[in-house]
Amino acid sequence: MKNIILSLVFLFVFTNAISQETTKEIKKSKTSTEMTSYYDNGQVKTHGYFNADNQLEGHWVMYDEDGIVLVQGEYENGMKVGTWLFWNQDSLKEVVFQANKLVQYNLWTKSDYLAQK
């Protein structure tokens, strides 16, 4: 169930970010391609890399229109790996992937943080 929810959250955030794109900047090298997309207001929307096989590779970040990080994580050969972080106004989701498979999930909310203080 957690896999389905996280997949839907990621798909919504990523699709929403891509669907509003207006400008892209692409820098190619022999081994990778760096891509940055921008909102109409000039703020960075997404930033990340593709490998020589055109698969997502390395660190990827998605921002909101104010420049606040929404999602960040790592890709290896097109697969999510390591710790991914998903922020919104009320929570932080930490998701650990191994070869695109969810292996750990943690959720922190503002109320959790405030209850500890």
What are the structural domains, with CATH classification, of the chain? 2-116 (2.20.110)
- pLDDT tens-digit readout, 61-102: 999 999 999 999 999 999 999 999 999 988 999 999 999 999
What type of residue is 23? T
Averaged confidence pLDDT in the chain:
85
Task: Find tokens 């081994």 and name the residue.
Answer: 31
Task: Find tokens 């890709």 and name the residue.
Answer: 75
What's the Cα-to-Cα distance from 49 to each of 6, 73, 83, rounded to whole Å? 22, 12, 17
Considering 3-7, 9-13, 68-72, the range whose residues carry the highest mean pLDDT is: 68-72
pLDDT of amino acid 35: 97
DSSP assignment, residue 83?
A: E
Confidence of residue 110 (pLDDT cuts 50, 70, 90): confident
For the segment 29-55, the average pLDDT, to the nearest whole number, is 95
For Cα atoms 110, 113, 117, give the angle at the middle one, nearest 5 degrees.
135
